[in-house]
Structure 1
Amino acid sequence: MSETVVDQLLARAAVAEEAHKWIEAVALYEVALVRLPDHVPAMLGAAAAARANGDHARAIVFLTRADRTAPGRADIAVALGEALAATSRLSEAAAAFERARAAKPLDAGLAARLGATRLAAGDAAGAVSAFEAALRLDPAEPRALGGLGSALAAAGRPLAAVEAFRRAGDSRPRADRAAALLALGDMSGGFADLDAIATGPAWATRLPAWDGVPLDRPLVVWVGSDPLDLAAFAPVLPLARSLVPDLVLVVPKPYVRLASALAGVSHVIADTEDIGGLIDGAGAAAPLVGLPHRLGLTAGSFASIGPLLVSEPMLADRWSARLDLGRGRPAIGLVWGGGFGLADLTPLAGIGDLRFVALERLPSAMLARSSAPSGWEVTGAPIRIEHPGPDFEAGVDARVDCAALLGRLDAVIAIDGLPLRLAGLLGRPGVALLPGAANWIWRIEGDRTPVYPSLSLLRQASEGSLAAMLPEAVQRVRDVMRG
C-alpha cells in the first residue's frame, strides 16, 4: 500500500514541478519520504525542486541523505557537488566531485568539473592535476582546455600557463594570462591584456582614450575597486604626469585621502562624485591598469625611482606618540592575516631586541588591554604583538593610519597585501613573505623587485610555509637596521 501511495505522491509532485510550484513539489516529496524514508528518487526529486526554487541549502540536505543511502552513485555525488558549489562550499563540492570521479573514472567532463571546482576553492595544484587528467581522457575537453592555463598560472607556473593558453586557441585578453605574461617579464603582452579587459565607467566614453602621447589638457585616470592595483601601478603615475599638464585620479571614495598623497597626481576625486565639469575640461581618459601599455613600458622602465607615497605628518606624529616610537628597541610592523595564523608566529618567540606591532585593524575579541605604550596588544599570540588600539583604521579614509604608522616604524615583515605595498610605496625597509605563486609585481625569482626596491623578498619553498621564513625575515631586518 505504501508503494502505491508514494507513487501517487511522486506523480503529484511531478505535476507541481511542471507548473513550477516548487514549494508544493518539495512538500509532496517530503510526505513520500515519511512513508518510505529510504526512497532515493524522492530525495533526488525534492533536491531538484528545492534547487529550482533557489533553495540550495535545503537541496544539500536531501542530496546528502541520498548520498548516504546510495553511496557510490556518480549522479548523486555530482548533484551534491553542484549544490555545494552554489552555496560557495567549494572544498566540500570538490570532495563530492572526487567521489563521482571514483565511480566514473573515464568521464573527462567530470574530471574537468572537478578541476574547475578545485581552482575556485584555491587548490591550484589539485586543479592542474584534474584538468590534465581530463585532457588525457579527451584532448578536446573544452572546460579543461579553457581552465588548465588559469590553474597553471594560479599554481605559479607561468611558462606552462602561457603554453596552455596558446594550445587552447583562445586569444581573448584575460587577467590570468596577463599575470602569467608579466611574471615571465613579457610586459608588452601582459600590459596589453590588462588594458584590453579594463572596464571603464560610463563617463569615460565621453572622453578620447589616451594613447600615451603628450596632452595640453588634463588626463583623467580611473582606478578599479581593488586597492592592490592602486598600489601596484602607482609607479607609472609620475611617468604619465610628465606628459600632461594635470593628472586627475578617480578612485573609490574610501581611498581618496590615501591616493591624494601619491606622486604624480594633481588631484583626486571620488568615483561617486559628479564629474561632469571635469570631463568638459579634460583632454583624454585611461584606466590606471592600462597606463603601462599605453606608455609602452618594459620590465626595465616599470620601476620605482624613489618613494611614491608620503604619509601625513600629523597622523604619523599621533601614532608615533601613541606607540612611543623612536626610543628603545626598534619597532617592526607585522602582517600575518591570510597567510598564516597566530599560532604560526612561534618562530618569533624569544626575540627580545625587537618590538612587533600589528598593522591590521583587528576585531575587539582579538585585542586585550596591556602594559604596552598604546595600552593594547593582540590576544592569543605566542609572542607579544602590540596594537595601536581599537581606533586604528577606524575612520572613513581607508589605510591612511597604516601609511602614517609605517612611516615611523623601523621596518615591516608582512605577507602580500596593502600594508606591505604601502611600505614599498613609502620606501620603507621590510621583508615580503611571498607564497610560491606570487603576484606578478614580485616576479618569479630573485630577492628584489624594481616596483618596491626598498623591500627584500622571501619566497615560500615548495615544502615549506610562510611562517617558516620568519627567522630569516628577522635576520634581514636586523641587517638593514645595522646598515
Structure 2
Amino acid sequence: MTETVVDQLLARAAAAEEAHRWIEAVALYEVALVRSPDHVPAMLGAAAAARANGDHARAVVFLTRADRTAPGRADIALALGEALAATSRLAEAAAAFERARAAKPLDAGLAARLGAARLAAGDAPGAVSAFEAALRLDPAEPRAVGGLGPALASAGRPLAAVEAFRRSGDPRPRVERAAALLALGDMAGGFADLDAIAARPVWATKLQAWDGFPLDRPLLVWAGGDPLDLAAFAAALPLARSLVVDLVLVVPKPFVRLASALAGVSRVVADNDDLGGLVETAGAAAPLVGLPHRLGLTAGSFAATSPLLAAEPMLADRWSARLDLGRGRPAVGLVWGGGLPLADLTPLAGIADLRFVALERLPSATLARSSSPSGWEVAGAPIRVEHPGPDFEAGIDARVDCAALISRLDAVIAVDGLPLRLGGLLGRPGVALLPMATSWIWRVEGGKTPSYPSLSLLRQTSGGSLSALLPEAVQRIRSMVHD
C-alpha cells in the first residue's frame, strides 16, 4: 500500500515539475519521504525541483541525505558538489567532487569539475593536479583546457601558465594570463591584456580613448572597485599627468579622500557623482589599469623615486597621540591574514624591544581593554598587539586612518594587502611577507621591488609557512629602525 501511495506522490511531483510548479513538487517529494524515508529517487527529485526554483541551500539538504543513504554514487556526489558550489560552500563542494571522482576515476569531466572547484576554493596546486589528470584522460576536455592556465597562474607557475594559455587556443585577454605575463617580465603583453579587459563605464563611452599622447584638455581616468589596483598603478598617474593639462581620477566614493592624496592627480571625484559636466569638457578617458599600456611603460617605469602618497597631517597627529608614538620602543604596524592566521604570530613572542600595532579595523568583540596607550589590544593573540581602538577606520572614507597611522609608525610587517601597499606608497620602511604565488608588483623572485623600494621582501618557501618568515622579518626591521 505504501509503495503505491509513494509512486502516486512521485507521479504527481513529476507532473508539477513539468508545469514548473517547483514549490508544489518539493512538497510532494517531502510527503513521499515521510512515508518512505530512504527513498533516494524522491530525495533527488526534491533536490532538482529546489534547485530549479533557485533554492540551492534546500537542495543541499536533500542531496546530503541522499549521499548518506546511498554512499559511493557518483551522480549524487556530483549533484551535491554543484549545489554546494552554488551556495559558495566551495571547500565542501570540492570534497563532494572528489567523492564523485573516486567513484568514476576515468571520467575526465569529473576530474575537470574537481579542478574548477578546487581553484574556486583557493587550492590552486590541487586544481592543477585535477586539471592535468583530466587532460591525461581527455586532452580536449574543455573545462580542463580552459582552467589549467588560470590554475597554474594562481599556483605561482607563470611560465607553465602562459604555455597552457597558448595551448588552449583562446586568444581572449584574461586577468590570469596578464598576471602570468607580468610576473615573467612581459610588461607589454600583460599590460595590454589588462587594458583590454578593463570594464568601461557608460560615461567613458562618450569620450575618445586616450592614446598616451599629449592632451590639451582634461583626461578622465577611472579606477575599478579593487583598491589594490589603485595602489599598484599609482606610479603611472604622475607620468600620465605630465602629458595632459589636467588629470581627473574617478574612484569609488569611499576612496575619494585617500586617492586625493596621490601624486599626479589634479582632482578626484566619486564614480557615483554626476559626471556630465566633466565629460563635456574632457578630451579623453582611460582606465587606471590601462595607463601602463597606453604609456608604453616597463617594469623600470614603476621605480618610485619619492613617496607617491601623502598622509593627512591632522589625522597622523591624532593617531600618533592616541598611541603615544615617537617615544620609547619603535612601533611596528602588523597585518596578518592571507595565510598567516592570528594564532601563527607566536614567533613574535618574547620580543621586548619592539611594539606591535594592528593596522586593520577589527570588530569590537575581537578587541580587549588593556594598559596600552590607546587602551586597546587584540584579544586572543599569542603576543601583545596594540590596537588604535574601535573608532579606527570607522568613517565613510576608507583607509585614510590607516595611511595616517602608517606615516607615523617606525616600520611595517604585513602580508600582501592594502595596508602593506600603503606603506610602500608612503615610502615607509617595512617587510612584506609574500606567499609563493604573488601579484606582479612583487616579481617572481628577489628581495626588492621597484614599485615600493622602501619595502624588503620575504617569500614563502615550498612547504614552508608565512609564520616561519617572522624571525627574519624582525631582524630586518631592527636594522631599519636602528640604523
Alignment TM-score, normalising by the size of structure 1: 0.99
Residue 303 of structure 1 and its aligned partner are, at CA, apart by 2.1
Counterpart position of 2:374: 374
Counterpart position of 2:123: 123
Counterpart position of 2:55: 55
Counterpart position of 2:456: 456
Corresponding position: 1:364 with 2:402: no
Give the residue type in structure 1 aligned to 2:388: P
Map of 1:225-236 to 2, 5 A cutoff? 225-236=225-236
Residue 389 of structure 1 and its aligned partner are, at CA, apart by 0.9
Residue 79 of structure 1 and its aligned partner are, at CA, apart by 0.6
Structure 1 residues not aligned, in runs of 5+: none
Residue 379 of structure 1 and its aligned partner are, at CA, apart by 1.1
Give the residue type in structure 1 aligned to 2:337: G
Counterpart position of 1:297: 297
Residue 259 of structure 1 and its aligned partner are, at CA, apart by 0.4
Give the residue type in structure 1 aligned to 2:206: R
Counterpart position of 2:197: 197
Residue 338 of structure 1 and its aligned partner are, at CA, apart by 3.1
Q: 2:18, 2:26 → 1: CA distance?
A: 13
Map of 1:151-170 to 2, 5 A cutoff? 151-170=151-170
Q: 1:434, 1:119 → 2: CA distance?
A: 19
Map of 1:253-402 to 2, 5 A cutoff? 253-402=253-402
Give the residue type in structure 2 aligned to 1:384: R
1:405-429 Cα shifts (integer Å, max 9, x gaps): 1110000000000000000000000
Q: 1:332, 1:59 → 2: CA distance?
A: 49
Counterpart position of 2:105: 105
2:235 match: secondary structure: helix
Give the residue type in structure 1 aligned to 2:98: E
RMSD over aligned CA atoms reads 0.8
1:57 match: secondary structure: helix
1:252-287 Cα shifts (integer Å, max 9, x gaps): 100111000000001111111111111111111100
Corresponding position: 1:133 with 2:133: yes
Counterpart position of 1:185: 185
Counterpart position of 1:436: 436
1:215 match: secondary structure: coil
Give the residue type in structure 1 aligned to 2:321: A
2:306 match: secondary structure: coil
CA contact (8 A) 2:251 2:270 kept: yes
1:417-461 Cα shifts (integer Å, max 9, x gaps): 000000000000000000110111101100101000000000011
Give the residue type in structure 2 aligned to 1:337: G
1:457 match: secondary structure: strand
Q: 1:276, 1:10 → 2: CA distance?
A: 59
CA contact (8 A) 2:340 2:415 kept: no
Residue range with higher mean Cα deviation, 185-194 or 297-306: 297-306
Map of 1:460-479 to 2, 5 A cutoff? 460-479=460-479
Poorly superposed stretches of 4+, deviation over 6 Å: none
Alignment TM-score, normalising by the size of structure 2: 0.99
Q: 2:338, 2:133 → 1: CA distance?
A: 30
Q: 1:8, 1:366 → 2: CA distance?
A: 55
Q: 1:234, 1:416 → 2: CA distance?
A: 16
Residue 360 of structure 1 and its aligned partner are, at CA, apart by 0.6
Give the residue type in structure 1 aligned to 2:437: A
Q: 1:141, 1:13 → 2: CA distance?
A: 36
Counterpart position of 1:252: 252
Aligned residues with identical type, % of pairs: 85
2:233 match: secondary structure: helix
Q: 2:222, 2:426 → 1: CA distance?
A: 22
Give the residue type in structure 2 aligned to 1:245: V
1:37-58 Cα shifts (integer Å, max 9, x gaps): 1111111111111111111111
1:314-351 Cα shifts (integer Å, max 9, x gaps): 11111111111111000000001333222111100000
Structure 2 residues not aligned, in runs of 5+: none
1:126-157 Cα shifts (integer Å, max 9, x gaps): 00000000000000111100000000000000
Give the residue type in structure 1 aligned to 2:331: A
2:263 match: secondary structure: coil
CA contact (8 A) 2:231 2:422 kept: yes
Counterpart position of 1:23: 23
